[in-house]
């Protein structure tokens, strides 16, 4: 049986594993058998920091999307219940559709201007958050 040195720690070991990415011969302490690579390559790829149960839908953007969807549904339900109770309801609204780079903005009812203003501000904030999160993701 041949004894060799680990390329990472220099420890002598009888059974060294070869990393499938960099080709280093490493001891069992520095080998990740699930990935077939050394611990350095594994950490470089970010596989070591990923939570074991993390899925695509546990990411922050998806959570924010579902939170927004839930809040919209709650708002609609509040309006429906208020109309059933016979209250005097004055509804104003605004919509922003973005097709390519062309925004289409519509507002209606007595406070339509303010609804358009708030929708525009929220859209700008949404774009800023999107750009910021994208930069954070590219750094990781």
Residue 55 confidence (pLDDT): 57
Residue 83 in this model has a pLDDT that exceeds 80: no
Q: Which residues pair with 93 in a beta bridge?
A: 108
Alpha-carbon distance values, 53 to 49, 57, 62, 98, 99 (Å): 12, 11, 16, 35, 37
What three-state secondary structure class fits 102?
Answer: strand
Specify the pTM. 0.40
Q: What is the mean pLDDT of residues 47-70?
A: 70
**CA nearest to 130, candidates 60, 54, 58, 71:** 60
Whole-number percent of the chain with pLDDT over 90: 5
Q: Which residue has better confidence, 119 or 58?
A: 119
Q: What angle do CA 61, 66, 106 make, to 5 degrees?
A: 95
Q: What is the mean pLDDT of residues 53-82?
A: 81
What ranges make up the beta strands (E) of 15-140? 17-18, 25-26, 31-32, 37-38, 93-99, 102-108
């Amino acid at each position: 049986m041949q004894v060799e040195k680990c390329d990472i720690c220099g420890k002598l070991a009888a059974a060294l594993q070869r990393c499938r990415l960099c080709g280093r011969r490493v001891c069992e302490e520095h080998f990740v058998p699930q990935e077939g690579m050394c611990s350095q390559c594994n950490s470089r790829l970010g596989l070591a920091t990923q939570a074991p149960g993390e899925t695509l839908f546990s990411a922050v953007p998806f959570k924010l999307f579902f939170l927004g969807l839930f809040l919209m549904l709650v708002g609609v339900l509040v309006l429906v219940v208020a109309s059933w109770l016979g209250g005097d309801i004055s509804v104003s609204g605004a919509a922003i559709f973005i097709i390519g780079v062309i925004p289409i903005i519509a507002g209606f009812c007595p406070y339509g201007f303010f609804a358009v203003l708030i929708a525009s501000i929220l859209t700008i904030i949404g774009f800023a958050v999107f750009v910021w999160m994208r930069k954070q993701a590219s750094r990781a």
